[in-house]
Amino acid sequence: MKTVLFACIHNAGRSQMAAAWFNQLADPRAARAISAGTEPGSRVHPEVLSAMQEVGIDLAGAVPTFLTRDLAASAALLVTMGCGEACPVVPGLRRMDWPLEDPKGKPIAEVRRIREEIRGRVEALIADEGWGQPSG
């Protein structure tokens, strides 16, 4: 099984949404997602909790996690979202960067737009890698 690590600065918005979408949409026997941040916040942003609750994903129990080099090394793929140079460089680790707007403090309509952009990117990643749910 592959592990995909979604990382942003505070691990309180974008990366939490991406990991939640991934774990809902991917075949759990093929891949799973975790998320972390370079400067983890104390909690997931309330506007992110609300936007994800609207689509049936409960992040109330999610806790921002510190992005360590060891955590990054345990992943098959690192997807960064705005942490720039603060994200660890792990030799040999596949990495991609998704330039996504930070949802912190944004009106709910903007958070919904970011949520759907993340969903689309996650769906494309799952399809590209062949990690989709089995049909039937």
Q: Which residues are catalytic?
A: 8, 83, 87
For residue 122, the surrounding DSSP H or E stretch is helix 108-129
- CB-based contact 4:22 (threshold 8 Å): yes
| Phi and psi at residue 71, to the nearest 5° | -65, -45
Beta bridge mates, 12: none
Token pair belonging to 128: 């590209």
